[in-house]
Amino acid sequence: MNNHTRGGNDDIAAVEKRLGISRRSFLQFCAAMAASMGLPAGADAAIANAVASKKRPSVIWLHFQECTGCTESMLRAEHPTLEKLILDVISLDYHETLFAAAGHQVEAARKAAMKANKGQYLLVVEGAIPTKDNGIYCKIGGQTALDMLKECAADAAAVIAIGSCASWGGMPSTGPNPTGASSVAEVLGKPVATIPGCPPNPYNFLSTVVHFLTFGKLPELDAKGRPKFAYSRLVHDNCERRAHFDAGRFAMEFGDEGHRKGYCLYKLGCKGPETFANCPSILFGDVGNASWPVGTGHPCIGCTEQGVGFTKPIHALANLKTNPPNGYPHIVEEQGKGASIAAVAVVAAVGGAAVGAAGAMAKNLGKCKTECPGKAVEKPAAETERTTS
C-alpha cells in the first residue's frame, strides 16, 4: 500500500469515527452524490477524498425575507445523518438560526470569518431581499439586508441562493410586492447559483457544495443559475403518474375514483408539466416511496418556477411543454367506433393538416370518470359527435 492510499484510508477512517457512520455508508453517499450530478466514473473517489481530507470551506449563511423552511428542510434530512455531514463538509461560521450566540457576538463572528477567509468563503443566501425605500423593511444588527448582501458578496468565492425566495423572489415578491422583494441575482447584478424550491431538496444544495469542495468550482448551471443535474428536466417527465396522463386518465376532484387509483393530477392544477425540478426522482424527507407532493396525492404547485409558483392559481391548468404521443389509445378504445388517434394522425400527416392529430390527441385530456369495462364513461362532446355521426 503506498502512502497516498494509506493517507486516504486514514482520512476516511477519521470521518467514520467523527460522524459515527460506517465507511460503507460514507462511500455510498459519495457515490450517490456523483451519480446525482452525472459525474464520470471515479468522481465518487474524488468526492470521498475531498470530503475527508480537504479544508472545510467557510460558509456565511444569510437570512432575509423567508420562513426558514430551507434550513429546516436541510436539518431534517437523514441520509446519511445529513445534519452531521453538512456541518462536517463546511465550516458554518455564520447562521442566525443555528447560532447559540446572539447580537453583537454573532455579527463580530461574521466579520471575523469574512476577513480570515477573504476570497475563499461561500456565501449562502436564504430569503428575498427587500429593495423598496432603500431596503428598510429588513434589517439585521442595524444594517439593511440590501447592504449586508452586497458587503458579504464582495469577497465571496461563490454565491448560492437557496430556496425560491432567494433564487427569484418567491412568495415575498408576489404582487403587489409592497417591499420590492427581489432575488439575489437581481440585487447583485450578476448570475449566482440558485437552488429554487419551497423548500428546495437539501441534497441539491449539498451536491452543489460538494462539487465546489471537490473541483473548486460550481456545477454546470442553466440560464437561470440552476444546477443542470437537478433542474434540467420537467417534473412531469419523471412523475410516476405520467403514464396516466399519456393515456388520458385523470383525477377530476379530490377523493374521486381516479384520485384514489393514482391517476394524473393535471386536471386538479398540477404544474408538473411546466416545472423543472428533480422532486419525483429523489423525493423528500428520506421516509420512503411517494414522499413528495404528487406522490401523496397533491398537485405540484410549481414552486421552483418564477411565474408559476405563488403566481398562477393553484387549480389553474399548467401550460403543457410536452404532450402525449399521438398513438396512445383512449382510456376505453371501442372497436368499430370511428377512427383511432393513430389513424387520425396518419391522415393528418398525409393531408398536411397537423391540427387533425392535435385535435384527436386533445381528446385524451377530456373528462373521464372510470376506465372499468362495463361502466358508463363520460365522453367529451367532440367524441360523442364523432361516434354518432
Annotated binding-site positions for [3Fe-4S] cluster: 279, 300, 303
Binding residues are: 67, 70, 165, 198, 236, 239, 264, 270, 279, 300, 303
129 phi/psi in degrees, rounded to 5 = -115, 115
Radius of gyration of the chain (CA): 25
The length of the chain in residues reads 389
List all residues 6 or more positions away from 45 whose beta carbon is below 8 Å from its beta carbon. Answer: 30
Task: Find out whether 325 and 357 touch, Cβ atoms under 8 Å.
Answer: no
Which candidate, 227, 191, 224, places its Cα nearest to that of 211?
227
Query: In the numeric block, which cell numbers belong to residue 235?
Result: 417534473
Q: How many CA atoms lie within 13 A of 218 on its CB side?
A: 21
Binding residues for [4Fe-4S] cluster are: 67, 70, 165, 198, 236, 239, 264, 270
Region label for 118, one of left (φ > 0), alpha (ψ between -120 and 50) or beta (otherwise): beta
Task: Find out whether 196 and 304 touch, Cβ atoms under 8 Å.
Answer: yes
Count Cβ atoms within 10 A of the Cβ of residue 129 and give its class: 0-12 exposed, 13-18 middle, 19 or more buried: buried
213 phi/psi in degrees, rounded to 5 = -65, -40
Task: Find out whether 240 and 321 touch, Cβ atoms under 8 Å.
Answer: no
> Grid coordinates 477573504 are at which residue?
118
Which candidate, 193, 219, 206, 199, places its Cα nearest to that of 86?
206
| Cα torsion through 261, 265, 266, 267, rounded to 10 | 80
